[in-house]
Amino acid sequence: MESKTNTILDAIREQDESLAEFLEPMMHELQDLEKTLKDLRSLPRYQVHSSDKHKQKVLPVGKLYKEYLTLYTATIKTVLSVLKDQDLSDTNDAIQEFMELAREKFGGL
């Protein structure tokens, strides 16, 4: 993700240096959040309830995963809302790919 983040930021920087400086911390935050979410996904998030086998209990990792996913989603939506107001029509394919993928995942911003 780091090279993709740098590619996207470089393409934005070609268009607007101040926009790239504004988005850079958010893009690196997204990178860190993706890594954390990937790590948390590999851990068990639910446990079968001890007394009622038809219920599941959310483990602390599951709660953390939900919080990080909420933060990740909010950050993506913020980045998209900033980028949608920019004229990036003639920019790098990496930006267009990022925006299309994020729109598919998180709705029509």
CB 72 within 8 A of CB 37: yes
Residue range 6-65, pLDDT digits in tens: 888 888 888 889 988 999 999 999 999 999 999 999 999 988 988 888 998 888 999 999
CA 27 to chain centre: 8
Distance CA 100, CA 75 (A): 16
CB-based contact 28:66 (threshold 8 Å): no
- Report CA-CA distances (Å) from 86 to 24, 55, 80, 82, 90: 16, 48, 10, 7, 11
Residue spans per domain, the chain? 2-106
What pTM was computed for the model? Answer: 0.76
Tell me what pLDDT residue 43 has: 92
**pLDDT, tens digit, 9 for 90 and up, residues 49-90:** 888 889 988 889 999 999 999 999 999 888 888 887 776 656
